[in-house]
Amino acid sequence: MSELVIKNLHVSIDGKEILKGLDLTIKQGEIHAIMGPNGTGKSTLAYTLMGHPSYEVTEGEVSFDGKNVLDLEPDERSRLGIFLAFQYPVAIPGVTVANFLRSAINSRRRAANPEDKGIPIPEFRKMLKEKMGVLKMDQSFAGRYLNEGFSGGEKKRAEILQMATLTPKIAILDETDSGLDIDALRIVSEGVNALSGPELGVLVITHYQRLLNYIKPHFVHIMMNGRIVESGGPELALHLEEHGYDWVREKYDESPEEQKVA
Ligand code: ADP
Ligand code: MG
């Protein structure tokens, strides 16, 4: 059983501290949701976990399977089993969804064994067909150029399919705080629900309580000012739905008045 353990994580961007001592443990098989107002550092956490170079870890530890994640490059983190779904996936004209996924699988296989000849095409096709079936995706999707002319919902689908193909142990899904329509939300949720099980740990990051109408998390955490300030079960999300974030701000926001988000 793998677990991602985050201890006292402090992260700065351009010298400004954004995460201020964040603690969180996610085990395979668990679904966690982090919720919080805009600007509290939710995306900073996601990018830091994946190794984005702009985010400087100044203090604390992140380990996965007992390995120090912070010492690893993003591709090494990925091979270890950590996956981050992109908020704004890039279009790659000329490369089909299927070819992209096959390259991703093959580069991973070659990293594990330089002699590897790559996944045989029939095996790949069978696997892809199965995964697309689980996600109720039309098979023609695999032949389209990656993200080229995709709707927001289709981009999300492509991300979820990538997740299904790479079979991570921990998937981090950071939902943008703007412009994620209800359709995209539903697609992400259905994908997570279809893929979740004892092998997969999920961290869903969202501003919206409504995401949790679709995904049933085991644990809900509220983030404020770069820390997790409340943790509980699904009832915490319901409480937020009813009462909003004002009570959290009143209780935990220590930033100067002029910086407070209205
Ligand atoms: P959230 O996802 O919770 O809305 P973010 O992690 O995106 O919050 O941002 C947290 C804080 O860090 C905000 O004050 C934001 O302005 C700042 N920030 C985020 N990314 C950058 C960046 N690349 N450069 C400078 N400041 C940033
Ligand atoms: Mg964000």
Task: Please tell me the distance between residue 19's alpha carbon and the centre of ligand 1 in angstroms.
Answer: 10
* Average pLDDT of the residues in 177-197: 77
Q: What is the pTM of this model?
A: 0.90
Residue 76 is assigned to a structural domain of this protein: yes
Q: Which of 196, 153, 243 is nearest to 33 (CA)?
A: 196
Please compute the mean of the pLDDT values over residues 85-114 and round it to a whole number: 88
Residue 141 lies inside a defined structural domain of this protein: no
Question: Which ligand 1 atom is at minimum distance from the Cα of 38?
Answer: 4
Quickly state the pLDDT bin for 64 (edges 50, 70, 90). very high
State percent of the chain over pLDDT 70.
94
Query: In residues, how long is the chain?
Result: 262
Residue 15 covered by a domain:
yes
**pLDDT at residue number 3:** 95
Give the residue, by CA position, lying nearest to ligand 1 atom 26: 13
In a domain, 236, yes or no: yes
Between CA 228 and CA 97 the distance in angstroms is 37
Which range of residues forms the domain containing residue 79?
3-89+168-259
For residue 71, tell me if it sits in a domain: yes
Phi-psi region of 133 (alpha: psi -120 to 50; beta: other; left: phi over 0): alpha
CATH number for position 61: 3.40.50.300
Residue nearest to atom 15 of ligand 1 (CA): 39
* Residue ranges in 90-197 assigned as alpha helix (H): 97-112, 121-134, 152-166, 182-195
Report if residue 145 sits inside a domain.
no
Closest atom of ligand 1 relative to the 226 alpha carbon:
10
CA 214 to chain centre: 16
Most ligand 1 atoms within 8 A of CB, residue of 9, 12, 13, 22 to mutate: 13
36 within domain boundaries: yes
Looking at the structure of the chain, the number of domains it has is 1
Q: In this structure, is residue 214 part of a structural domain?
A: yes
Give CA angle at 87 (103, 58), nearest 5°: 95
Ligand 1 within 6 A of 40 CB? yes
Query: Are the CB atoms for 7 and 61 separated by under 8 Å?
Result: yes
Q: pLDDT tens digit string along 214-259?
A: 888 999 999 999 999 999 998 998 888 888 888 988 888 776 555 5
